[in-house]
Amino acid sequence: MRFTPQFNGSQHGSTFDLLIDGVAALSGNEADQGRLFELDVPNATMIELRENPGTACTALLFELQILAPACPGDVIANNIIDGADLAALLSVWGTDGGIYPRADVNGDGTVNAADLSAVLSGWGACP
């Protein structure tokens, strides 16, 4: 994921927090305006941006870019496609991916044969 904060009308003391699945992953202030942050967020289900109460920021704009996994089929995000990925995929077969959202490799909403094919065709070390 790439994140770039842009403050609009900020004054000294403006701060923000970026939360991933309810846990603070990044904090910053107006000095970070335009800075590119890159975060690894495998299997994240919720990304939230909060302006901290009491700050002088009139508006906080941001660009958030979720990057496709560098290795489609790497269900458990360990940079290799192997038996652990296959087991994880099979454990959520027929669902939306549940605890393994990357198991739905093609993003069609269901872990199925198309996703299994992607795992098997990518077998081995990720590029």
pLDDT one-digit tens code per residue, 105-116: 988 889 999 999
Give the model's pLDDT for residue 69.
55
For residues 7 and 55, state if they share a domain.
yes
pLDDT one-digit tens code per residue, 47-106: 676 666 555 544 555 555 555 556 889 998 888 999 999 999 999 999 998 888 889 998
Structural domain harbouring 101: 80-125
Assigned domain for 19 exists: yes
Domain count, the chain: 2
Question: Which residues, listed in sequence order, are joined to residue 8 by a DSSP beta bridge?
Answer: 59
Assigned domain for 38 exists: yes
Amino acid identity of 51? E
Cβ atoms 103, 75 nearer than 8 A: yes
For residues 87 and 40, state if they share a domain.
no
For residues 18 and 54, state if they share a domain.
yes
119: left (phi over 0), alpha (psi -120 to 50) or beta: alpha
Binning pLDDT at 50, 70 and 90, where does residue 27 land?
confident
Assigned domain for 27 exists: yes
Q: For the whole model, what pTM was predicted?
A: 0.51
Give the model's pLDDT for residue 36.
65
Half-sphere exposure of 117 (CA within 13 A, CB side): 4
Alpha-carbon Rg for the chain in angstroms: 18
